[in-house]
Structure 1
Amino acid sequence: MNFNAEPQGMTTTVLDDLHARWVRGFVPMTDLDSTPAPRQRVVRTLLSLADSGYRTVLSLKFPYQDRPLPQPGTSAMKAELARVDKVLGAVLGKVDILVIGNEPFLETREQDRATRLNPFYRRVAAHVIAERGRRGGAALRTRLYMGALNRLNDPASHTPAVNGWLAHVKEVRELEGVDIHPHVVNLAEAKKFTDYVLPRIRSDQRFLATEFSLVHWWKEHWSDPVPRSYADRYGVPADTPVWQEIRDAAADPVPQEQWRYLLMNSPWFASRKNYLANHVQQMRDTGRLAVATYGVLQGPSMVRDIGPRKAPWLLNSLHANRVARPTPDGKLARNPAFFDSFRALQSVSGS
C-alpha cells in the first residue's frame, strides 16, 4: 500500500481488508523544520503500523524544484543533513526500508539535474550509510535503496545524470537497489523501466516500485464523453466529459453501483481491468522485485480543483472513498477492477 504524504484514513481495518503486508509513505524533509520527526504525520503513521506488525517503507523527499540543491561542504548541505539525522533517529531499526530520495529528477530544478543532483544525493547516501553503521545493532536491519526514477519509458530520460545515478547505486555495496515509478499508458512502457535499470545495477541488487499506475492512460481519456448507456441510465447529457462527471461525484458522492457502471462501461477503463495483476506479474517475472506498493485511498489533493488538465490519480486508487458512498454497514467503495486483483496478489508468492 502506498499513501505518499497523505496517511489520513490508513487504518489497520483498511489494510487488513486488503490483506496488505507492506505500507509506504514519503516525508518532505522541510516538514522537519517545524515538526519533530516522531510527530510528523507520515513518520508517526508508519511507526505505528510497524509496531502493529506491518512491513514499512519510508522515502525521504527533498523538494528543490524552485531553489538550488545544496552542494557538499556548504552550510546548506549541513542543514539538510541535520534534517536527515532527525528522521534517522526516529526510524532506523524500525522501518524495514529507507529510500534515499522520492523522485529526485522531478524534484530538482532542471538546470541542476546534470550538475548538482548526483553530488547531493551521493553525499546524503554516504551520510545515511555512515549513521546507520555508527548506530549498529537494530539500525542495520533497515535496508537502504535509492529512489526513485521516473519516465524511463522515454529515451529522453536516459541522460548521463540518470546513468550516473545508477552507477552510484551499483558501486555502493550498502545500497540494496533502486526504486522506480512506472506511471505509464500500457505494460510495454512499464517493462522499459526494468529493461533499463536492471542491467545497470549489480546482479545481487533488486528494485522497488513504490508507485506505479496507468495515470497517463487515464489522462488520455479524461475528456472523453461518458458512455452513452451511462448518460441514459443516470440522466446526464451524452456529451458530458468524464472529468466533469467525476468532479460532480467528488462534490456529491454517488452510489457505488453508479461509480462501477461509469468505469466498467467505459472501454478505456474496462480494457485495462487486468492491468494491476499483469503489471505486478511482469515485475515479479524479473526475479528482482523486492517490494511493490500501490495507492489505496483517494486523498484530498486528488479531488481538489478537478478539471480537464488535472492528472486523474484518483482512478488508480483501490478505494473510491471520495467519489462514491460507503455501504450501509460503512464499507468504503471499491475500485471495480483493481480491488479484487490486489487482494488476490497478496495470496501469491511475491512482494
Structure 2
Amino acid sequence: MRIQNEPKPVSRRWLLGASGAALLTAGCSDTEGKADTGGKADGGGSTSGKDAVVPGGVLGANFNEDPSTMDFSMLEGLSAGWLRGFVPMPEIDETPAEQQAAVKALLSAHDRGYGTVLSLKFPYNHRPMPAADSSAMDAELARVDKVLDAAMGKVDILAMANEPFIESLKKDHDGTLNAFYEKVARHVIAYRKKRFGERCRTRLYMGSLNHLDRPDWRTQATERWMTFTRETSEIEGVDIHPHVAAIEDSQKYLDYILPKLRRDQKFLVTEFSLVLLWEQHLRDAIPAEFARRYKLPAGTKVWQVIKQATEHPFPQHKWHDFLSMSPWFETHKHYLRNQIQKFRDTGQLAVATYGVAQAPAMVKDFGPDKQPWLLNSLYSNLVVRPEDGKPAPSYGFFDDFRALQRAQDHRPVRTAETRT
C-alpha cells in the first residue's frame, strides 16, 4: 500500500511519534494473555489442547509497517487471532532486527499466541535494483539474515517481498527484479534448511502482486514470478494485494494466479480494499440529507467532510451518518464479508489480513487528490472521537470482521510445522 501525499523521505519518527497506546509499548514484558510456545512437534505448543493446523481460510489484522497506531486491546476487540506487518529492509542497518518496529510487534504477538505474517520490503522505487551477483546484493542478504535470525521459526508465514512491482523501477522489470527476488528466496530457503533441518514452523510465500486486474500489469515478469513460485517446492504460494474499484476486479487476480499454482499451494491476501472506489467519489457532493442535518452548505464535497473529520474528529454518530447516507459507501458496507467469502470459496486461501487502524500519514494534508485509505480501516481512530477512552469501531467493516472469525483461528494459534 502506498499513501499519496506522504512526505518524502518517509519519516518513521514522525509516523511512530507519540502514540501512548502503541503496540510496542505493550511489548513483550507484559505476560498477560501469553501462550505457551515451547512445543517442538508443531512449532508452537499451547495450553489449549488444539491440534496444530495448516493455515487455511484465515482472516487476520494488518498494520503494514506502523504498529504504533494500534494495541492488543484493539485486536481483542476484533477477536482477531492473526496479525501481519512488513519490515522495510534498510531499517535493519539502523536498528537490531528484533527491535525494529514491525518485527518487534510480531514477535510480541507471537508470544501472546497470535498467528503472524511478516513481509520483507525492499524499497527500490527511486534507485536501480542490484544485480543478483553484486556486492549490493550481498549486503541485502546480510540484512535478510538478521531478520531471519530474529523471526524464522517464530513467525508462522514469511512473505519474501512486499509489493515488488511497485517498489521498483519499471526498467528493472526486464528480469533484474525476478533475479533479485529469486536470489532472496533461495537464500531464505537455504537458511531455513540449515538452521531448522527437516521441519520448521515458518512457511514461505512469494510476496504480493498488484494491479492484476489491468492487462498491462500481467507481463513476462509476473509470468516468471508465478513460474518460480510453482516450480520451487519449498514455496507454499503467492501473495496478492487487490486494491480495486469493484469486488469483481479482485476475481481477475484469482483468475490469473490460481491456474499457475500447484495443487498443493495456497495464496495470501495481506492487503485488499475498495480504496479505488472511494477515490472515485471524493469530488461528489455530499448527500442532501446529511448537509441538512449537520447544517453544511449545499454542494459541499465528500473530501471536504473527510478533511473536517481529520482536523476535528466527529462524534461517532455523525461519521456513521456520513457513510450510511452516502450510497457509494452504504451499498458496499459489507464488502469485507463478501470479499472474504469469495476468497474462501476457492479453497486455496491461506491467510487474508485487513487494515486495523488509521495511521497519521492517511490523514495528513487530506485533500481531493489523496487516496482515502482511511475509509478502509477497522477502527476510525483518527476521524472519530474516542468514547470512554476507546477507539471508535468502523461503520460496517468492524462488525463483519468479528462475524468472520472462526473458532479454529482463535488464540492461541498452533500452526503445524512444514517440511523444509
Shorter-normalised TM range: over 0.9
Q: Of 178, 189, 210, which aligns to 2:270?
A: 210
Counterpart-to-counterpart distance in 1, 2:65 and 2:301: 30
Q: Of 131, 143, 146, which aligns to 2:206?
A: 146
Q: Name the structure 1 match of 2:376.
A: 316
Q: Please list the CA deviations of residues 175-200 of structure 1 after superposition, one character each: whole Å capped at 9, or x if unmatched.
A: 00000001111121011111110101
The offset of 1:114, in angstroms, is: 2.1
Contact 1:92/1:138, CA 8 A, preserved across alignment: no
Contact 2:69/2:358, CA 8 A, preserved across alignment: no
What is the one-letter code of the residue matched to 1:332? P
Counterpart-to-counterpart distance in 1, 2:167 and 2:222: 14
Contact 1:146/1:169, CA 8 A, preserved across alignment: yes
After TM superposition, the structure 1 stretch with the greater mean CA deviation from structure 2, 72-81 or 232-241, is: 232-241
Q: Name the structure 1 match of 2:187.
A: 127
Q: Name the structure 2 match of 1:250.
A: 310
Q: Of 332, 341, 347, which aligns to 2:406?
A: 347
Q: Name the structure 2 match of 1:265.
A: 325
Counterpart-to-counterpart distance in 2, 1:268 and 1:325: 24
SS in structure 2 opposite 1:130?
A: helix
Structure having the larger proportion of residues in helix:
1
Alignment of structure 1 residues 1-351 onto 2, 5 Å: 1-136=61-196, 140-327=200-387, 329-347=388-406
Contact 2:65/2:85, CA 8 A, preserved across alignment: yes
The offset of 1:139, in angstroms, is: 7.5
Contact 1:208/1:292, CA 8 A, preserved across alignment: yes
Contact 2:237/2:266, CA 8 A, preserved across alignment: yes
What is the one-letter code of the residue matched to 2:339? H
Identity %: 55
The offset of 1:331, in angstroms, is: 2.3
The offset of 1:350, in angstroms, is: 7.7
CA RMSD of aligned residues (A): 1.4
How many pairs are equivalent? 350
The offset of 1:115, in angstroms, is: 2.5
Gaps in structure 1 of 5+ consecutive residues: none
Structure 1 residues 138 and 170, CA gap change in structure 2 (3 angstroms): closer
Counterpart-to-counterpart distance in 2, 1:229 and 1:349: 44
SS in structure 2 opposite 1:148?
A: strand
The offset of 1:10, in angstroms, is: 2.6
SS in structure 1 opposite 2:320?
A: helix
Counterpart-to-counterpart distance in 2, 1:348 and 1:259: 32
Contact 2:362/2:373, CA 8 A, preserved across alignment: yes
Counterpart-to-counterpart distance in 2, 1:116 and 1:137: 31
Q: Name the structure 1 match of 2:418.
A: none
Gaps in structure 2 of 5+ consecutive residues: 1-60, 411-420
Counterpart-to-counterpart distance in 1, 2:366 and 2:134: 42
The offset of 1:106, in angstroms, is: 0.3
SS in structure 2 opposite 1:294?
A: strand
Counterpart-to-counterpart distance in 2, 1:157 and 1:110: 11
What is the one-letter code of the residue matched to 2:222? V
The offset of 1:4, in angstroms, is: 0.4
SS in structure 2 opposite 1:56?
A: strand
After TM superposition, the structure 1 stretch with the greater mean CA deviation from structure 2, 46-55 or 222-231, is: 222-231
Contact 2:213/2:250, CA 8 A, preserved across alignment: yes
SS in structure 2 opposite 1:293?
A: strand
Contact 2:323/2:330, CA 8 A, preserved across alignment: yes
Counterpart-to-counterpart distance in 1, 2:154 and 2:197: 12
Counterpart-to-counterpart distance in 2, 1:234 and 1:343: 31
Q: Name the structure 1 match of 2:13.
A: none
SS in structure 2 opposite 1:23?
A: strand
Q: Please list the CA deviations of residues 39-85 of structure 1 after superposition, one character each: whole Å capped at 9, or x if unmatched.
A: 10111011001100000000000000111111121110001101111
